[in-house]
Chain A
Amino acid sequence: MSLRRWIQILATFLSNGYWQFPATGSIYKGTLKSVCVPGLNCYSCPAATGACPLGAIQTFMATLRPNIEAARFHLGLYVIGFLGVIGSLVGRMPCGWVCPFGFFQELLHKIPSPKFEIPKFLNHFKYVFLVLFVFLLPLLVVDEFGYGMTWFCKHVCPAGTIEAGIPMMILKPELQGLIGLLFYSKLLILVLFLIWMVLSRRPFCRTACPLGAIYSLFNRTNAFRMVHHPDNCTRCQACYSNCPMGVKFFETSNHTNCIRCLKCLQESCKFDAISYEIAGLPTPEPKPNET
């Protein structure tokens, strides 16, 4: 098993390390929850030990108006700063190494089935979800007191449904009486994504994840960058075949979907056409193509 896989397992357990929930019957309520995790992990998951950065941003947007009226300038800078520091250093690397939901998608894709590529235009939808569901709707659609809703969590997030919705229904049967159309619509979204995850490579990350969209904004300017060596490249497409995000590395080496999993470098390319650099500092020169 690769180092990345071990780190994904470790990160999943660290993000969900509260295993007393069957005894307590509730979620973790310790101070660790004031820290955001770098990946997508619902904070209402009974085992979650950290806060979901997306949920936190939406909360700040949803409460911005009443907060400002009360002279509390809670703009979400704590979370945006946290994500920006990570993004500026490693871009979308957290998606490939520490995101539990990304890891889950990779495992599901191992189920034998016909596999399909995702149409390119769908890649842009994650930015729509980011702008609309994480920022604009929570900020603009408010009740009579000025409070908005966490739109992405409430209406879309399949991670919330699988990590929190279903487990909490089992853990707290009294909640089952509150199940309505909203729960079923989220369940439908989850089921559709689960099927899509088997058929395509990480479809949620590529088409709908607002967290991935935030990190991807840094992919071309962050310190850790992938480098393509066209002189060595034979365009054999081995990197594309093995890429969990379906990136054609030989066309765009720092594509917004590149999660820096390094699978192309370590497990795919036989021609030394791929390397990486850290802030432009020299890395070992690839050998010239001898074929």
Chain B
Amino acid sequence: MTFSTGQLAKPANPKQVKSMQQSVNSTPGRSPGRRSPFIVMVVFLLLFIIGINLGEVPVVLAKAIRLCLSCIGIG
């Protein structure tokens, strides 16, 4: 398919142009590097560290080393 200079210079409908641009840019898997997962990871890493500082690790240990009667269905 070829386009004349006139067609490129004067798009008929801005929505059409936007849609064409989106289809070109939306080649799957070729997006530029995404930072958001790492920002989310840092937030949760902070929560993890805060939890450790609040002394939650011994709480998990204390629960895990005792036989959980609820888990085995008698408590």
Contacts and interface: CB of A to CB of B under 8 A. Distances in A.
Decide whether A and B are members of one complex.
yes
Interface of A: 26-31, 33-34, 36, 42-44, 48, 50-52, 55-56, 59-60, 63, 72-85, 87-89, 149-150, 153-154, 157, 160-161, 164-165, 168-169, 175, 178-180, 182-183, 185-187, 218, 221-223, 227-230, 253, 275-277, 279-283
A165 B73 contact: yes
A156 to B, nearest CB: 11
Interface centre among B29, B34, B46, B72 (most CB of A within 10 A): B72
B8 interface: no
A77 B48 contact: yes
B67 A182 contact: no
Given A79-B51, A164-B68, A223-B37, 9 more contacts: A74-B55, A78-B51, A80-B51, A150-B70, A154-B70, A164-B71, A222-B40, A275-B29, A280-B34
Contact of A179 (B43, B58, B74): B74
B29 A157 contact: no
B47 A34 contact: no
Interface of B: 28-38, 40-41, 43-52, 54-61, 63-65, 67-75
B28 A51 contact: no
B73 A43 contact: no
Please classify the interface of chain A as helix (H, G, I), strand (E, B), loop, or mixed, using the class held by over half of its residues: mixed
B67 A88 contact: no
Nearest to A52: B64
A153 B68 contact: yes
A33 B66 CA distance: 10
Nearest to A218: B40
B72 A221 contact: no
A267 to B, nearest CB: 20
Contacts of B71: 42-44, 55, 150, 153-154, 157, 160, 164-165
Contacts of B28: 227-230, 253
Nearest to B46: A81
A223 B64 contact: no
A84 B31 contact: no
A168 B61 contact: no
A88 B36 CA distance: 9
Contacts of B40: 84, 88, 218, 221-222
